[in-house]
Amino acid sequence: MGELQIFPWAIMSAYALLISALGIATWRLIYGPSLFDRVVAMDLISAVVMCIAAVFALETQNPVFLEISVAIAVVTFLGTIAFARYLEDEEEE
Amino acid sequence: MKIIKLIAFVLFYIKEVVITNVQVAYDVLTKKHHMTPGFVAIPVEGLSDRQLLVLSNLLTMTPGSITIDLSQDKQTLFIHAMYIETVDEVREEIISKYVNRVREVF
Amino acid sequence: MNLLVSIILIIGAAFTTIAAIGLIRFPDFFTRMHAATKAGAFGGIIILLLCAFCFASLKITLIVLVNIIFFYFTAPVAAHMIARSAYINRVKQWEGSKADELKGKIALKQHHKD
């Protein structure tokens, strides 16, 4: 009985932790003192969304959602690299 | 023989990643900042390009260090380390822990 | 069995949250980078491995392994590039910093950029 009910609770608390992480990272994204802090915050947000997709796959027992995390990993990598190059090569005034 | 060394290295690396992650988590959750960050130069003479790639990726994924830059002549690796007692100590530690093992294994 | 899966799931989620808290609490950009890129990736990898373990099929395990390997190859590259770009753009360092052996080894930009 107790064993049957512990898993939904774990899923719910994992969601709670991940969503609070999302909120905290968004704070840094908005108030970050430099542009680079914002880029790192974006990076962390995408990692959190990857985790949420994986937890959702566990909750629904549907492995299709795992492929979301592959796609997110690819897109974020390219985005961060593009930001880094852009900020590095930007012409000076 | 090389396979055994590779497995030993992977086990060592997993242990290292877990330990350093817990260390950073402790630093995040306690009130005082324990870290003493700084940039350190690591000499990496005689490593091939493949070894350099592996070394810099592995160093970045352990939460004590981020690879920042490689000098033009591929002799020095610059990292940002998080816990520095003295610079020489960090340099010694990274050379004995990672550089020598990477040189042997890969 | 269920208990073990639950505990590991919460540990993974907790590491991601710790990464986010570190992003808020650490004093300068480079230390924030340490917290964000690695603790976050560690939590994600724990949760993905847990998925592979729970679904227990070959196809899912392959997807998870591809994901983890891709992550392990790209996350350091992204972290390295953004940190280098930040150093070149003269992002401020914390006053508790101990050493700067990189000084003078890279051409910095003229103006401080926010």
Tens-place pLDDT, residues C9-51? 999 999 999 989 988 888 888 888 888 888 888 888 899 999 8
Cβ distance of B37 and C83 shorter than 8 Å = no
Q: Is position C104 within any domain?
A: no
Whether the per-residue pLDDT at C111 is higher than 80: the answer is no
What is the distance in angstroms between the Cα of A27 and the nearest Cα belonging to chain C?
8
- Containing structural domain, residue A27: 2-89
Please report how many Cα atoms fall inside a 13 Å half-sphere around the Cα of residue A89, on the Cβ side: 7
Cα angle B18-B34-B95, degrees, rounded to a multiple of 5: 55
* Beta bridge mates, B39: B80, C100
Residue A93, pLDDT score? 44
- Calpha distance C19→C38 (Å, rounded): 8
Residue A26, pLDDT score? 92
Radius of gyration of chain A (CA): 17
Residues 6+ apart with CB under 8 A from B28: C18, C21, C22, C25, C26, C35, C39
What average pLDDT does this structure show over C94-110? Answer: 70
What ipTM was assigned to the predicted interfaces of this complex? Answer: 0.83
Cβ distance of A36 and C41 shorter than 8 Å = no
Q: Which helix (H) or strand (E) holds B36?
A: none
Cβ(A60)–Cβ(A34) under 8 Å? no
Residue from the list C22, C37, C73 with its beta carbon closest to the beta carbon of B28: C22
- Calpha distance A22→A19 (Å, rounded): 5
What is the secondary structure of chain A as a DSSP string? -HHHHHHHHHHHHHHHHHHHHHHHHHHHHHH-SSHHHHHHHHHHHHHHHHHHHHHHHHHHT-GGGHHHHHHHHHHHHHHHHHHHHHHHHPPP-
Chains sharing 3 or more CB pairs under 8 A with chain B: C
How are beta strands B38-43 and B65-70 bridged, if at all? unpaired
What average pLDDT does this structure show over B54-71? Answer: 83
Collapsing DSSP states into helix, strand and coil, what is residue B81? strand
Total tally of structural domains belonging to chain A: 1
Cβ(B81)–Cβ(B95) under 8 Å? no
Residue A19, pLDDT score? 94
What is the distance in angstroms between the Cα of C1 and the nearest Cα belonging to chain A?
9
Residue from the list A27, A28, A36 with its beta carbon closest to the beta carbon of C91: A36
- Containing structural domain, residue C16: 2-88
Give chain A positions within 8 Å (CB) of C81: 80-81, 84-85, 88
Question: Which phi-psi region, left, alpha or beta, contains residue C69 (left: φ > 0; alpha: ψ -120 to 50)?
Answer: alpha
pLDDT in tens, B7-22: 988 898 889 888 888 8
Give chain A positions within 8 Å (CB) of C49: none
Domain ranges, ordered by start, for chain B: 2-105
- pLDDT tier at A91 (50, 70, 90 boundaries)? low
How many residues are present in chain A? 93
Residue C102, pLDDT score? 67
- Calpha distance B32→C106 (Å, rounded): 33
Cβ distance of C101 and B41 shorter than 8 Å = yes
pLDDT in tens, A40-79: 898 899 989 999 999 999 888 888 888 888 888 888 889 8
Residue from the list C79, C84, C97 with its beta carbon closest to the beta carbon of B37: C97
- Calpha distance C21→A20 (Å, rounded): 9
Whether the per-residue pLDDT at A16 is higher than 90: the answer is yes
* Beta bridge mates, B42: B77
How are beta strands B38-43 and C99-100 bridged, if at all? parallel
Residues 6+ apart with CB under 8 A from C109: A92, C88, C89, C90
Total tally of structural domains belonging to chain C: 1
* Beta bridge mates, B40: B79
B7 is written with which tokens? 């497995």
- Fill in the DSSP letter of residue C94: P
Residue from the list C97, C99, C102 with its beta carbon closest to the beta carbon of B68: C102
Q: Is position C98 within any domain?
A: no
Quick one: what percent of chain B has pLDDT higher than 90? 0
C98 is written with which tokens? 């101990």
Best probe of the C interface among B27, B60, B79, B87, by most C CBs < 10 A, is B60
- pLDDT tier at B62 (50, 70, 90 boundaries)? confident
User: Is the model more confident about B36 or about C51?
Assistant: C51
Quick one: what percent of chain A has pLDDT higher than 70? 91
C72 interfacial to chain B (CB closer than 8 Å)? yes
C19 is written with which tokens? 């990464």
- Calpha distance C106→A74 (Å, rounded): 30
